Amino acid sequence: MVVTVERSLTGQISLPSARIIRRAALQRARRLPWIRELTVRSGDKVSPDDILGWQQVPARPVAVQVGLQLRCEPHEAPAYMIKQIGERVRANEPIAEKKGLLGLARKVCCSPVDGVVTYGPGASGEVLIAPDGRRKNLVSHLHGRVVTASEKEGCVIETTGGCVQGVAGLGVEVHGPLRVLAETRKDEISPTAIGPDCAGAVIAGGHIGREALTRAASQGVLGIVVGSITADLYWEAARMADCPTMVIIDGFGRMGMAEPAFQALVALKGEVAAVFPGTEAGHAGVPEVIVTVPWERGADHAEELGLELGAAVRILSGPYFGVIGIVVRAHSESIRLESGLVVPTLEVELSDGSRVTLPAANVELVG
């Protein structure tokens, strides 16, 4: 017997979710693992190009063979050191020197890098030098206001705009004006649509092929947001040196983009889109694109998603992959699927009024 559950389902089944928001107040943490200096304070207004802080990314130490370069026994190397542990050195600056008889046949050992002597000479006659780290800025990428800031944790920015979350990403964080290069959610981005005016932009469409990807790279496109890409092209893109940053919203294949996600991007075209591929420490986790508009005070926060009757879900399997529907029924008993598996299921109504029964595990909440 199948019984309709006429009540809130929240807490009964835990569904993953993907945010698709056209306009709401959003908060995003911006982190750096090695915060050295945060240049913003709570309350500051920020723009996408603003630097929130910077860090010194440490480099691996280098070993310098002092004994070998001075042609002395390892245990003799300490006697020839000019620079001691803790001292700064510049690249090509002598760190050890061995003078020959009467000052002849002088031998010098130089540092290969700018850095600090941290150890040595050890028993092997080697010295370790910690190179200066690489300075890396933490860019805002968002319009908004800093709501919390701490040297240790980084900061949280509140912004107003839309957000579309995806399943995979490549590249580094970027931002640029959003250009939607497709008429419908299923349209593949045409290579001819990518012109010089796309340089520095974030382009979006239902799907992208090899030719369009190559053209996007050559035209200086910064970011690509698509519903789908083939697995083969995704791995090709991962190996491309100049591939724009990419966020895949729905999955692998040619299913295009879910309609609400596509419409959210269409509604926000022309605004600044920040593309977070989920690969960097500053914004690790869910790949997403956040399209911000200049900050509005008092905008409502997006509602928390929960599984309720009437909740919007994206179907993740079978012939309806990527289609959005509404939960109209949760079966209180497990049901046998066509595959033969007996699992908890949901009944989902599609936009044409038809209903499909799906494993509860094969949908995700959207909104």
Partner 1 sequence: MGSRSDIGSILMADIGSAGTKLGLIDLVDGRYRFVASGRAPTTSQASLGDVSLGIREACRQIEAVTGRQILDDGGVMCPESPDGTGIDLFGVTASCQSALRVLAFGMMDVASLQTALARVNDATAQIIGTVSLQKASPKDEGLLGRILDDLGRYQPDVLLLVDGADNENRTLISELAHVLSALPAPSDGRRMPVVYSGGSASAAVLSELLRGKYDFHPTESIRGDDTAEEQRALERKLASLWVDRVATSVPGFSLVQSWVQMPTLSAAQAQMYVTRFLARNYECTVWCVDVGAATTSVLVATRDSFAPVVREGLGVGQGAVSLLPMAESIERWLPVHVTAPAIRDLMMNKRVRPWLLPQSSADLYFETALARAAVQSALGNQPEETGTIRPVLLGGLVVGSGATLAQSPTDGMAALAVLDALEPAGIASLAVDRHSIFPQMGALGVSFPAVATQVLVADGLYRLGTYVAPEGVAGQGDRAVTVAVERSGGIAVEVDVPFGAVHVIPLSGREEAQLRVSPHKRLDVGGGPGQAVSLKIRGGSLGVVVDARGRPIQVPSQPRDRWAKFTQWRDAVGG
> What is the H or E stretch that residue 235 is in?
helix 231-239
3-state secondary structure at position 239: helix
Contact status: 94 vs partner 1 (CB under 8 A): no
Tell me the two tokens of residue 247.
């966020």
Contact status: 260 vs partner 1 (CB under 8 A): no
3-class DSSP string for 293-335: ECCCCCCCECCCCCCCCCCEEEECCHHHCCCEEEEEEEECCCE
Contact status: 128 vs partner 1 (CB under 8 A): yes
Helical H segments across 4-74, by residue range: 66-70
Sheet of strand 115-119, all strands in order from the earlier edge strand to the far edge: 62-65, 126-131, 115-119, 88-89
| Contact positions with partner 1 (CB under 8 A) in 169-228 | none
Contact status: 316 vs partner 1 (CB under 8 A): yes
Give the nearest distance from C-beta 219 to partner 1 in angstroms. 26
Cα 308 from Cα 330, distance rounded (Å)? 9
Radius of gyration of the chain (CA): 28
Q: Give 276 or 295: the residue with its C-beta nearer to partner 1.
A: 276
Contact status: 113 vs partner 1 (CB under 8 A): no
Q: Give 340 or 353: the residue with its C-beta nearer to partner 1.
A: 340
Binding residue (CB under 8 A) for partner 1 from 84, 317, 351, 354: 317
- What angle is formed at CA 298 by the lines to CA 293 and CA 303, rounded to 5 degrees? 85
Give the nearest distance from C-beta 12 to partner 1 in angstroms. 7
Binding mask 279-298 for partner 1 (x = CB under 8 A): --x---xx------------
Q: Which stretch binds partner 1 (CB under 8 A): 38-46, 60-68, 209-217, 219-227?
A: 60-68
End-to-end CA distance of the chain: 32
Q: Which stretch binds partner 1 (CB under 8 A): 1-9, 10-18, 194-202, 216-224?
A: 10-18
Contact status: 119 vs partner 1 (CB under 8 A): yes
Cα 201 from Cα 177, distance rounded (Å)? 5
Binding residue (CB under 8 A) for partner 1 from 10, 230, 263, 279: 230
Per rule CB under 8 A, count of chain residues that contact partner 1: 64
> What is the H or E stretch that residue 367 is in?
none
CA distance to 16, 173, 215, 311, per residue, from 28 (Å): 19, 14, 32, 24
Binding residue (CB under 8 A) for partner 1 from 144, 154, 359, 367: 359
Site residues, partner 1 (CB under 8 A): 11-18, 33-34, 58-63, 65, 67-68, 73-75, 118-120, 122-126, 128, 130, 133, 165, 167-168, 230-232, 234-235, 251-253, 281, 285-286, 316-318, 336-344, 358-359, 361-362, 364
